[in-house]
Structure 1
């Protein structure tokens, strides 16, 4: 693919009225990559719940994005032009665009593999142009090489959802034989977390609404829990302990729910790990309830609590390598660019199995 079309323009999806789900498609000029940059013809972009939160102004304590923001941070495209000094990735190669659009690679955080905490971080789709567009200029260093033979549309969500859950399991030291409980297991993050856990040799308790039970079990979940069937936190915790006496080693909280976080420590075995991924809507804003942990139980059981918003460049590569072996498959709905607002509304209602992917071709 090459940028040869006369009068070619960049069709991009913008957040037209931040604070709502309203979006619009606009035509923009195609830019030229500068030093250290490449121009990518975008093919696909997954839609993450963080994109919804950025558009609607519900992303925790983060400031609202400006009108005209191009969202998206999990995209796949083809390199069509290199900026000065760039030799890799080569023209014609497929690359992925992640949460970290640009990092310095030299600060203390970057040097320890924490690029998503880079002191000079620019975030795709948040005060920086994201993946909901046909042509994107990005840092050559941050563009992730895509393995041959992988489904490109399915690989798009791996740039955020897949990398994040893989990194979560890795940093929680998940090993063969461990039990992992996943909240929001039928969603974009959760359905990949089930598969990555199984690829690591773990066992899964999937928790979500009842309509997603068959989907989760098809993906390999050993048990399924419909959280709506339990009236109190104590009841659902007791049920988990009947399935796995003593508790699970890891709870991966993909659901952005206060209640899920209130319950999570109770599911864990002593010295187990709670991985916080999903962020409750309006979390931390005045007048809103925040997750309540039983601190005495956390101390008594010596629990670990970690937060993860994205993975490193190395973790993204490892995540893709596992998928390329056929051990993980993204379940997605491919939709045209003009369906972003509709997709946001469906995500708001919690009725999406797997991931929605936009076709940017």
Structure 2
């Protein structure tokens, strides 16, 4: 599409003050200034817990006014006037994670990418010079009708997958997929997911069980537990308010034929809630030598017992999000194994209603669907 065929103005949801509703504003359609960039028409924009935290001003507050959303999908409508577009063309449907925008390609991280399934040298999602991702820093995200994105950070949406299905995978899906990869478990080993009925958790249940892992999901919120059980993944779903970790470990021990408490429990556990109780519960579910993968990051941090680290030999590692390579493998896995987020969709104008529903405790993922008639 030529520039002269694009509209001059667009609608955007703008956060003008913390802890206040988004405001719909008319803004100019952004123009391409970097040869790596492309312009997309946003087709779906998914709401993440981080959006809620940022809107409250509690985590790395971005300068205001701010356009949020770091998991979205759209259609390429314009390319830079000079290469590179990295193989993309107008009309391609792309999924956009917030991370990896305008990496430098020269730093130690870019030259030696890290994380599960790292990319080839020259590009890293953890580049310290990128200056923050789309929608989670100073750069605007996907709560708008058109967006400029880095052609190096996107992935082609597979045939048969809608934009609404793809958008939640760009943070929730990719984050939990990368965390599972970091566990390095083999089929038949045990994994636990604390916060199994949330956006990341319910996708994690599907990924883990389809990977052949013996999966235990833990939650305390009734709506989240209902969602987790409705997936019918075969995972054991535990209400932590009614069953202690010792009881859960004993059941695992009986199933596995283990008699000593040190040999009972999970090989790895992923912590999603920002709760010390959740952290402690997950840690207690681990067998000796088990791995705790930390995805959440409350401002006050977590207390870790030296006894667990020294005497039980448990390991604690962090996990943020997946690489482009992991993103492509995740898409292939989703298509092959029919992994999908449970979504509730809203027209573009109803973002504030979406936010209210999110805070009311709806499980799964809430998504703006630009194709819904308003």
> What TM-score does the superposition give when structure 1 sets the normalisation length?
0.89
Q: Following TM superposition, by how much is the alpha carbon of 1:16 offset from its aligned partner in structure 2, in angstroms?
A: 2.0
CA distance in 1, matches of 2:68, 2:304: 33
- Greater mean deviation of Cα atoms: 2-11 or 144-153: 2-11
Q: Look up the match of 2:38.
A: 38
Gaps of 5+ in 1: 231-235, 285-289
Per-residue deviation, 1:165:
0.5
Q: Which of 261, 264, 270 is matched with 2:282 structurally?
A: 264
Note the alpha carbon deviations across 1:162-183, whole angstroms, 9 max, x for none: 1110000001102211211111
The match for 1:353 is: 363
- Aligned residues of 1:11 and 1:134 also touching (Cα < 8 A): yes
Whether the 8 Å CA contact 2:223–2:363 is kept in 1: the answer is no
* Counterpart pick for 2:314 among 303, 325, 330: 303
1:78 is paired with a residue of what secondary structure? strand
Greater relative contact order: 1 or 2 (C-alpha under 8 angstroms, separation 6 or more)?
1
Q: Does the 8 Å contact 2:72/2:142 carry over to 1?
A: yes
Query: Which residue number corresponds to residue 217 of structure 1?
Result: 229
CA distance in 1, matches of 2:47, 2:354: 8
Q: Would you say how many aligned residue pairs link Structure 1 and Structure 2?
A: 344
TM-score, L = length of structure 2: 0.86
**Counterparts of 1:167-316 in structure 2 under 5 Å?**
167-208=178-219, 209-219=221-231, 220-229=233-242, 236-245=244-253, 246-280=264-298, 283-284=299-300, 290-316=301-327
Given candidates 82, 85, 95, the residue that maps to 2:83 is 85
Matches of 2:284 and 2:63 in 1, distance apart?
40
Change over 3 Å in CA distance of 1:355–1:300 after alignment to 2:
same
The 2-side partners of 1:2 and 1:168 are apart by 41
Instruction: Indicate the SS of the match to 1:243.
Output: helix
Q: Provide, for residues 74-111 of structure 1, a one-character-per-residue CA deviation record: whole Å limited to 9, x for no partner.
A: 11101111112134211111111112133223422233
Q: 1:123 to 1:257 in 2, by over 3 A?
A: same
Q: Provide closer, same or farther for how the CA distance between residues 335 and 4 of structure 1 changes in structure 2, counting only shifts above 3 A.
A: farther
Q: Which deviates further from its counterpart, 100-109 or 309-318?
A: 100-109
CA–CA distance in structure 1, aligned partners of residues 156 and 106 of structure 2: 21
Q: Report if the CA contact (8 A) 1:21-1:341 is conserved.
A: no
Partner residue of 1:74 out of 68, 71, 76: 71
Please state whether the residue corresponding to 2:250 is helix, strand or coil.
helix
> Quick check: 1:118 aligned with 2:131?
no
Q: How do 1:14-163 residues align onto structure 2 when only pairs under 5 Å count? A: 14-18=14-18, 20-34=19-33, 35-59=35-59, 62=60, 64-83=61-80, 84-87=82-85, 88-100=87-99, 101-114=101-114, 115-121=124-130, 122-125=132-135, 126-163=137-174
CA drift of 1:26 comes to 0.9
Which aligned segments of 4 or more residues in structure 1 are displaced greater than 6 angstroms?
1-4
The answer for the alignment partner of 2:10 in structure 1 is 10
Gaps of 5+ in 2: 115-123, 254-263
What RMSD over aligned residues (CA atoms) do the two structures have, in Å? Answer: 2.0
